[in-house]
């Protein structure tokens, strides 16, 4: 079970905080009862926030899950989630696909690009490609039929396919 | 080409079953994954139709056994194991009968 984590602020923290928040929000889907509090308080040096920012999540079984982020400046959006996933954007989609691919042990993360072909550039075979597609199914939570799955040969194609299936426009 | 699809299909099903049966058990998950991958890679260059059919049958049988005959248990205390049954394994509460009457 995840315990609360304390984030000390530094100047380049916003991206990290956003990343942690995104990851915490993703854990909403796993239905683990966890109480996560990130308190970025007095150690804020350069950030223009005037008051402490608290971020708390409560997951209550099947009931509604409520996430609130309040704060000024960086990327403020207040959202309520009633048991649904955060909205997908092309950029987050792309990042998540690349993240999952980098975790795969047969891929060299340095050589990975959006257009790298699994078989021609990365030297994988069809069995590895099946494993990759399965990892994508787990990550995004929906089934990809075999007929479509065997055609997806680059990260860009995967992003495009998921965007089509999940109606992600930009 | 049909056999190729069948091979990939059974490969995917094996991995899916593996992730369901050994849920949360990292050690078993990785061990099973390596085993599945190794067995498939070993026979990757097989060309004889007959052998491929045999191996497909074997893979399908392994998947069935994993799905239907393997149950997960968790050690809670010394000498105590808590079972984690999957939905599909639970049967209805029918009293056991030594010599069941034939169904009509």
> What sign does the CA torsion over B2, B4, B7, B9 have?
negative
State pLDDT tens for residues A84-142: 777 888 999 999 999 999 999 888 888 898 899 999 999 999 999 999 999 999 999 99
SS3 A89: coil
Is residue A156 scored above 70 in pLDDT? yes
CA distance A92 to A99: 10
Q: Where does the pLDDT of residue A18 fall: very low under 50, low under 70, confident under 90, or very high at 90 and above?
A: low
In this prediction, residue B28 carries a pLDDT of 92
Whether B8 sits inside 8 A of A125 (CB atoms) is no
Contact A150 B12 (CB under 8 A): no
Quick count: other Cβ atoms within 10 Å of Cβ A131?
19
**Is A125 among the catalytic positions?**
yes
The span from the CA of A81 to the CA of A68, in Å, is: 9
The catalytic residue among A84, A125, A138, A148 is A125
The helix (run of H) or strand (run of E) holding residue B80 is strand B80-84
pLDDT digit string, tens, across residues A117-129: 999 999 999 999 9
Q: Which residues contact A132 (CB under 8 A, 6 or more apart)?
A: A100, A101, A104, A118, A124
Higher pLDDT, A28 or A146: A146
Task: With beta carbons less than 8 A apart as the criterion, state whether A26 and A9 touch.
Answer: no
Q: Which of A3, A68, A58, A67 is CA-nearest to residue A31? A: A58
Task: Select from A125, A127, A152 the residue whose CB has the most chain B CBs within 10 Å, as the one to mutate to test that interface.
Answer: A127
> Per-residue pLDDT tens for B24-79?
899 999 999 999 999 999 988 888 999 999 999 999 999 999 999 898 988 898 88
Report the pLDDT value the prediction gives residue B103, as an integer from 0 to 100: 65
Write the ipTM.
0.80
For the stretch A28-80, pLDDT in tens is: 544 433 333 433 333 333 334 333 333 333 333 444 434 344 344 456 566 66
Q: Give the model's pLDDT for residue B54.
A: 93
Predicted local confidence at residue A67, as pLDDT: 39
For residue B15, count CB atoms less than 10 angstroms from its CB and return exposed for 0-12, middle for 13-18, buried for 19 or more.
buried
B30 sits in which H/E element: helix B26-42
d(Cα A127, Cα B44) in Å, to the nearest integer?
A: 10
Q: What does the pLDDT look like over B82-92, one tens digit per residue?
A: 988 888 888 77
**Do the strands B72-77 and B80-84 form a parallel or antiparallel pair, or are they unpaired?**
antiparallel
Residue A125 near chain B (CB below 8 Å): yes
Rg from Cα positions in chain B = 18
* pLDDT of the residue at A102: 92
Q: What is the pLDDT of residue A15?
A: 55
Q: What is the pLDDT of residue A69?
A: 41
Q: Which of B15, B33, B35 to mutate to test the interface with A (most CBs of A within 10 A)?
A: B15
């Amino acid at each position: 079970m995840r315990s609360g984590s304390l984030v000390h602020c530094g100047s380049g923290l916003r991206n990290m905080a956003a990343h942690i928040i995104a990851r915490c929000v993703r854990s909403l889907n796993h239905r683990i009862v966890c109480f996560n509090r990130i308190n970025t308080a007095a150690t804020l040096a350069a950030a223009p926030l005037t008051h402490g920012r608290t971020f708390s999540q409560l997951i209550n079984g099947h009931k509604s899950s409520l996430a609130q982020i309040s704060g000024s400046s960086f990327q403020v959006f207040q959202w309520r989630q009633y048991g649904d996933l955060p909205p997908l954007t092309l950029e987050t989609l792309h990042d998540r696909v690349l993240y999952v691919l980098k975790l795969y042990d047969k891929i060299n993360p340095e050589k990975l690009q959006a257009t790298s072909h699994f078989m021609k550039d990365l030297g994988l075979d069809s069995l590895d490609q099946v494993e990759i597609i399965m990892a994508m199914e787990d990550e995004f939570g929906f089934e990809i039929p075999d007929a479509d799955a065997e055609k997806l040969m680059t990260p860009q194609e995967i992003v495009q396919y998921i965007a089509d299936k999940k109606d992600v426009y930009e | 080409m049909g056999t190729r699809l069948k091979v990939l299909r059974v490969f995917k099903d094996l991995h899916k079953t593996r992730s369901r049966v050994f849920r949360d058990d990292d050690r078993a998950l990785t061990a099973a994954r390596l085993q599945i991958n190794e067995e498939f890679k070993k026979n990757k260059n097989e060309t004889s139709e007959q052998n491929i059919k045999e191996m497909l049958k074997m893979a399908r049988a392994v998947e069935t056994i994993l799905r239907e005959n393997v149950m997960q248990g968790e050690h809670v205390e010394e000498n105590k194991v808590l079972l984690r049954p999957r939905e599909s394994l639970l049967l209805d509460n029918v009293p056991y009968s030594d010599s069941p009457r034939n169904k009509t």
